[in-house]
Amino acid sequence: MHFCVTYMPLLNKTSLRKVLPDEAWSIARDTFNRVRKFQRKFERRPCVGWVRFGSLRRVDPIDPNFGFRYGTVIDRYYIQAFLSQQASDIRGHVLEVENNAYTRRFGGARVSRSDVLHYTEGNPKATIVADLTDAREILSDTFDCIILTQTLQFIYDMRAAINTLHRILRPGGVVLATCHGISQISGYDMDNWGEYWRLTGLSGRKLFMEVFPTNCVTVQAYGNVLAVTAFLHGLTAQELRREELDYQDPRYEVIVAIRAVSRLWTKTTHCLGFPLHATKSAMLAAAVNAHLHSEYMEVTL
Ligand SMILES: C[S@@+](CC[C@H](N)C(=O)[O-])C[C@H]1O[C@@H](n2cnc3c(N)ncnc32)[C@H](O)[C@@H]1O
């Protein structure tokens, strides 16, 4: 069998057919097909009992703290990839949650003003203390960009928070949000404000499209089964190869990243004091919005 598995694929079926007598060819063909079937089965799934779990044969994780102390946390590898790809959106007046590390790192000189939002009092870096589900203290049309990494999963009324994001963005402003797809619970966050949700790429897209113009929401998911396994065990990005981290399998989403651009038309008309009511106006708004957005994209890309 070993000989067959190793050498049969090297033999060409057509050339064998030419040189072998009929009876021998019939045996060779059957063997060839059996070997292929065995190979395919093996490629798909090893036999029961053949998997070697090695260091992963344990019911508690290798590091329960996401691997923070040992290297780059795997979800952060993906969040940074997303923000680096969208770096040109991080400009003007930027809001970030908890601290402004990503604003400074990815926005640099494009940022004219940086604000930090925190849910509770006591964070010295916070310039705004607010609950995103009902943040009346934040004026509408304030920010050009909101970096909302790893926050939505901690807000029970996610829809209300997304409405606030849209309200406080300037016309044409951008929110860059990330949320866990597959992850352990974060003990610190659970104890302080609660951890409620996981998103899929599809639910993230639908939630944002309820508020933002549908053609202005893009979603990207990152991860694969190896990255998920390593992440759940608190292993770090340095312990995987780059190609292993960058392989994207849509069935295993570690991070769901959303980019949404706020409505230009309704925001502009609202600023000018012309709220839209009639269906006709709404249809006109949709058309103009699409046009304005395509112009906006051309300008910013
Ligand atoms: C893990 S931190 C995320 C921020 C950080 N910049 C990051 O990338 O990980 C979770 C944040 O969610 C915020 N948060 C939880 N509930 C909130 C709410 N209802 N409104 C606003 N922020 C909230 C907390 O202030 C906390 O800073």
Instruction: State whether 128 and 140 are in the same domain.
Output: yes
**Are 154 and 188 found together in one domain?**
yes
In a domain, 55, yes or no: no
Q: Is 182 left (phi over 0), alpha (psi -120 to 50) or beta?
A: beta
118 ligand 1 Cβ < 6 A = yes
**From 66, 83, 97, mutation site for ligand 1 pocket: most ligand atoms within 8 A of C-beta:** 97
**35 and 114 within one domain:** no
Within a domain: 54: no
Residues 257 and 279 in one domain: no
Mark the ranges of the chain whose per-residue pLDDT is less than 70.
1-12, 41-42, 265-301
CATH code of the domain containing 94: 3.40.50.150
Q: Mark whether 84 and 203 lie in a shared domain.
A: yes
Mutate which of 138, 154, 162, 175 for ligand 1? The one with the most ligand atoms within 8 Å of its CB, which is: 154
Residue 62 lies in a domain: no
Considering the entire predicted model, what is its pTM? 0.80
Range of the domain at 272: 265-301
DSSP string, 222-245: E--HHHHHHHHTT-BGGGS-HHHH
Same domain, residue pair 300 and 244: no
Q: Are residues 193 and 280 in the same domain?
A: no
Nearest CA to ligand 1 atom 23: 119
- For residue 93 and ligand 1, the question of a CB distance below 6 A is answered with no
Instruction: Please indicate whether residue 97, judged by its CB atom, sits closer than 6 Å to ligand 1.
Output: yes
- Are residues 229 and 276 located together in one domain of the fold? no
* Centroid of ligand 1 to alpha carbon of 151 (angstroms): 4
* Cα 192 to averaged position of ligand 1 atoms, centre (Å): 10
Residues 114 and 214 in one domain: yes
Answer whether residue 86 is part of any domain.
yes
Answer yes or no: do 88 and 219 share one domain: yes
Is 8 inside any structural domain?
Answer: yes
* CA dist list (Å): 82 to 24, 33, 61, 246, 255: 58, 45, 27, 12, 10
Closest C-alpha to 147, from 190, 102, 184 = 102
Is residue 214 located within the same domain as residue 257?
yes
The domain tally of the chain equals 3
Ligand 1 pocket, residue 255 CB under 6 Å: no
Give yes or no for a contact between 259 and 174, defined as CB atoms under 8 angstroms apart. yes
